[in-house]
Amino acid sequence: MSTPPSSLPGGSWTLGDQPVTRFGYGAMQLAGPWAMGPPADPDGARALLRDAVGLGITHIDTSDAYGPRFTNRLIREALHPYAASLRIVTKVGANRDAQGGWPTARQPDQLRRQIDDNLESLGLDVLDVVNLRLGDAEGPREESLAEPFEALVELQGQGLIRHLGVSNATAAQVAQAQAIAPIVCVQNMYNLAHRHDDELIDRLADNGVAYVPFFPLGGFNPLQSEALRKVASRHNTTTIAIALAWLLQRSPNVLLIAGTSSAAHLRENIAGTRISLTDQDLADLAACT
Ligand SMILES: NC(=O)c1ccc[n+]([C@@H]2O[C@H](COP(=O)([O-])OP(=O)(O)OC[C@H]3O[C@@H](n4cnc5c(N)ncnc54)[C@H](OP(=O)(O)O)[C@@H]3O)[C@@H](O)[C@H]2O)c1
């Protein structure tokens, strides 16, 4: 299927049958510090979401666990009825506790409830893409995903989900999911300083599956390195722009969902990410690992 041209850096990618801009938006931090609500500035958050779509972004990443519920509600309040081109990608597999923890919730009945909650809070009849979040807050864990993934495949069969993905997954879990049903994306932690998924990214690119790095800027621990500063200074730009441009240049199947609570930062990131990194830049940035 052909994809519409995008004026955003990186152009477009097709998630299953759904074209999206490779420059997307990660909505987690709109909920508040540590993704726990209520948000300090809901009007500002809604304005930012409208800005993101106004700037041409057609991929928003969210979860009903952000807030919990606040982020999805903000998205609905700001953007519903949704533009036909907008794809909202959500994830299930964890809830929130009162301390802000992320307890695992991957029993089939828990997943069903999370799908219903996402449909309700986003105001949708069908979810575009649902990622099954695996492992825990410490990272991926090598364990079978068969039971929870098959539960989502069943809900997909009931027409509640268009496409499936996995998150916080090992390469073996990605292969296990693909042996059960097609996936359109893998959302794992990856950035200039955490490149453990290099082989997986290349394999997914060969399969036409998107790789969506979470914490592309380091998340709660912002990326910092002398090499990054040196390359940013060479291009007269920010370290953030370099980190995002590097991801876009890494492989065509890499999609950006960098988070920001600032419309000015969003514009700055779009403008800054248009740069093309040279071989010398890439060699220098190898020192970030
Ligand atoms: N699947 C999973 O398990 C999982 C886990 C974590 C996150 N995620 C997804 O990944 C998305 C991205 O992760 P993230 O937002 O946590 O981390 P991130 O994108 O690595 O970093 C976001 C941080 O970067 C800052 N930032 C962005 N642009 C900036 C700029 N131009 N200047 C200065 N600071 C800037 C933001 O601060 P400001 O707000 O001040 O701009 C924010 O604190 C999330 O929104 C979420 O959708 C998924």
| Helix (H/G/I), strand (E/B), else coil: 216 | coil
Handedness of CA 44, 121, 58, 139 (dihedral sign): positive
Distance from the alpha carbon of residue 181 to the mean position of ligand 1, in angstroms:
30
Residue 289 confidence (pLDDT): 74
- Confidence band (pLDDT; 50, 70, 90) for 231? very high
Position in ligand 1 atom list of the atom nearest CA 25? 45
- The DSSP element (H or E) to which 189 belongs, if any, is strand 185-189
Distance from the alpha carbon of residue 74 to the mean position of ligand 1, in angstroms:
17
3-state secondary structure string across 3-72: CCCCCCCCCEEEECCEEEECECEECHHHHCHHHECCCCCHHHHHHHHHHHHHCCCCEEECCCCCECCHHH
Cα–Cα distance between 265 and 260 in angstroms, integer? 7
Q: What is the mean pLDDT of residues 190-205?
A: 97
Q: Is the pLDDT of residue 82 over 60?
A: yes
Cα–Cα distance between 80 and 275 in angstroms, integer? 33
Catalytic entry in 25, 66, 190, 211? 66
- Confidence band (pLDDT; 50, 70, 90) for 4? very low
Taking a C-beta distance cutoff of 8 angstroms, is the pair 128, 89 a contact?
Answer: yes
Answer yes or no: 82 catalytic: no
Distance from the alpha carbon of residue 210 to the mean position of ligand 1, in angstroms:
19
Residue 5 confidence (pLDDT): 52
Output the ligand 1 site: residues, CB below 6 A: 26-29, 61, 91, 133, 167-168, 187, 214-219, 240, 257-262, 265, 268-269
- The predicted-structure confidence for 168-183, as pLDDT tens digits, reads as follows 999 999 999 999 999 9
Position in ligand 1 atom list of the atom nearest CA 62? 47
Q: What is the mean pLDDT of residues 136-150?
A: 96
Handedness of CA 85, 3, 181, 203 (dihedral sign): negative
Tokens coding 252: 């065509």
Q: Is the pLDDT of residue 3 over 60?
A: no
Q: What is the mean pLDDT of residues 203-220?
A: 97
Within 13 Å and on the Cβ side, how many CA atoms surround 193?
15
Distance from the alpha carbon of residue 62 to the mean position of ligand 1, in angstroms:
12
Residue nearest to atom 6 of ligand 1 (CA): 214
Residue 221 confidence (pLDDT): 87
Handedness of CA 31, 118, 134, 128 (dihedral sign): negative
Global pTM reads 0.97
Residue 1 confidence (pLDDT): 39
Residue nearest to atom 37 of ligand 1 (CA): 260
What residues contact 278, with CB distance under 8 A and at least 6 apart? none
Q: What is the mean pLDDT of residues 191-213?
A: 97
Position in ligand 1 atom list of the atom nearest CA 217? 20
- The predicted-structure confidence for 92-140, as pLDDT tens digits, reads as follows 999 999 999 999 999 999 999 999 999 999 999 999 999 999 999 899 9
